[in-house]
Amino acid sequence: MKAVVKQQLGDGFVDLVDVPEPQLEPGTVLLAPGAVGICGTDLQILHGRFIGYVPPVVMGHEFAGVIDSVGAGVGGLSPGDRVVSETHAYVCGECVYCRSGIYNLCPKRKGFGYGINGAFTELVRVRKDIIHKLPDGISIQEAALLEPTSVALNALTRNSRVLPGDSVLIIGPGPIGLLCLQVARLSGGRVTVAGTERSKQRLALAMKLGAERVVTDKELTEGISDGTLKNAFDMAVMAAGDASAFETALLAVRPAGRVVHIGETAVSAPVQLSLIEKKNLTVQGSFSHNWPVWENSISLVRSGAIDLRSLISHEFELARWRDAFGVVENRTGVKVLLRP
Ligand SMILES: [Zn+2]
Ligand SMILES: [Zn+2]
C-alpha cells in the first residue's frame, strides 16, 4: 500500500512509497483512514526538527475512518464502523500515569506518525482502547480534527481553566488557536487572537468564530510597549509553537494571571524570568489528551457547540501530499486534510 514515509533523520527524506500492510494482532483493529489532518508537528518531522521521531515511519496522527478488520479480543467494534483514533499508539499500561488515566504522560508513550506507523496511508493498526465510535452527524473529515480539538479542551478546561468573563489572549491563529478560541468562548471568555501579518485570513476566521478582537503580532508588541496591551489579559495561550511568544505572553497577562503553553516547538528562547515571580504568574503546560477529553470533544462537536467544518480549508489526495504540506507551510489555509 502507498504511504507517506519519513525515511531517515534530517531535513527532507519524506516520500510516497510502497509499504507492507500492517498485520492484525489481538486487541487491535485495522483502520482505513478516510481523512488525516496535517499538523505543525508533521512539518517539523519533514524538516527534521521534531525530537524523538524514529524513521522509517509512516507519518500522520490526526485521523478518522472506517474499521477494516478486527483482531481477537476486540469487543464492541466491527468492520464498517465509523471511528476516530487517539494518537497514543503505545503506552505501557503499568506506570503511575497509565494507572491514573493520564496515559498521555506515560514515559514510554509512542505516538502515531513518529514513534509508530501512522495514518498517511491506506491501513493503520490501532489498539482497541483508543478507538472512539463516531455518532451520526460528525463527518469523517470533521472527526480528523477531534485530535486538535482535544488538545484545546485539555488545555483550557482541565490543565488550566477559562472562567466566565475572563479576557483571554490567544497567540497563534492556526487550527489549535482557533479551537482554543472556541473553547474559551464556551467557557464565557472574551477572546483576542494575535497572528502574523500573513495570517490575515485566519484572523478573519477568528472574528467569525467569536473573537472579540484580532491583532497582528506587530500591533500586540506595540500595544505592550505603549501599555495598552500590557497586563491586559487574565490568560494568555501560546498556540503558535513560537518560543519567542513566551515573553510577550508574560508581559500581556495581568499580575496573578495565567500563561498556557501548548504549541509544539523544540526551539529555546531567552525569557525574563523575574516577570513570572514579580507578577505572581502561573505558567501551565498542556500535553495531548486522554479518553474523557475525547468523549467531551465528540459531544461538543456533535451538539454544534464547536464548529470544525469552518476550519477545513483544503483536502488533497494522498499522492499530492507535497502540495498539501506546502499549503500548511505557507499558511494559506487553515486545516489541510489528506485523503488516503
Ligand atoms: Zn497534531
Ligand atoms: Zn505508562
Query: Which ligand neighbours the alpha carbon of 114 most closely?
Result: 1
R_g (Cα) of the chain, nearest Å: 20
pLDDT digits (tens, 9 = 90+) for 2-53: 999 999 999 999 999 999 999 999 999 999 999 999 998 999 999 998 888 8
Query: Which residues have a beta carbon within 5 Å of ligand 2, which is an ion?
Result: 91-92, 95, 98, 106
Distance 81 CA to ligand 1 centre (A): 24
Length, in residues, of the chain: 340
59-102 pLDDT, tens digit each:
999 999 999 999 999 999 999 999 999 999 999 999 999 999 99
- The ligand that comes nearest to the alpha carbon of residue 100 is 2
Query: Do strands 62-70 and 124-127 pair parallel, antiparallel, or not at all (unpaired)?
Result: unpaired
Whole-number Å distance between alpha carbons of 157 and 110: 25
**Domain annotation for the chain: domains and CATH numbers:** 2-145+308-339 (3.90.180.10), 155-285 (3.40.50.720)
- Picking from 197, 161, 151, the residue whose alpha carbon sits closest to that of residue 289 is 151
Q: How far apart are the CA of 102 and the centre of ligand 2, in A?
A: 9
What's residue 52's pLDDT?
85
Answer whether residue 266 shows pLDDT above 80. Answer: no
152 vs 175: CA distance, rounded Å:
10
Distance 61 CA to ligand 2 centre (A): 20
List residues, by chain if needed, whose CB lies under 5 Å from ion ligand 1: 39, 41
% of the chain surpassing 70 pLDDT? 100
Q: What is the pLDDT of residues 120-152, one digit of tens each?
A: 999 999 999 999 999 999 999 999 999 999 999
CB of 40 within 8 A of CB of 91? Answer: no
pTM for this prediction = 0.96
Q: How far is the CA of 87 from the centre of ligand 2 (A)?
A: 14
Report CA(101)–ligand 2 centroid distance (Å): 9
pLDDT of res. 24: 97
Closest CA to 89 of 51, 126, 38: 126
Alpha helices in 227-269 (DSSP H): 245-252
What is the pLDDT at residue 216?
97
Which residues are registered as beta bridge partners of 132? 84
Q: Assess contact for 240 and 218: CB atoms under 8 A.
A: no
Relative to the alpha carbon of 290, which ligand is closest?
Answer: 2
Task: Give the residue from 4, 139, 117, 125 showing the smallest Cα distance to 64.
Answer: 139
CA of 74 from ligand 2 middle (Å) equals 21
Question: For the stretch 172-193, what's the b/e string if a residue is b when 16 or more beta carbons lie within 10 angstroms of its beta carbon?
Answer: bbbbbbbbbbbbbbbbebbbbb
- Residue ranges of E strands in 46-90: 57-58, 62-70, 82-85
Cα(43) to centroid(ligand 2), Å: 27
Closest CA to 45 of 198, 283, 264, 204: 264
| pLDDT of 188 above 80 | yes
- Ligand 2 geometric centre to CA of 100 (Å): 9
Quick one: which of 144, 110, 146 has its CA closest to 127? 110
Distance (Å) from CA 325 to ligand 2 centroid = 32
> Which grid coordinates are listed for 18?
510502497
Is the Cβ–Cβ distance between 288 and 152 less than 8 Å?
Answer: no
Give the number of whichever ligand sits closest to the CA of residue 104.
2
CA 48 / ligand 1 centre spacing (Å) = 16
Is the CB of residue 242 less than 8 Å from the CB of residue 177?
Answer: no
CA gap 16, 59 in Å, rounded: 10
**Amino acid identity, position 167:** S
Ligand nearest to the CA of 94: 2
Q: From the CA of 274, how far away is ligand 1's center (Å)? A: 32
CB neighbour class for 306 (10 Å; exposed up to 12, middle 13-18, buried from 19): buried
Lowest-confidence range among 66-75, 115-124, 261-270?
A: 261-270
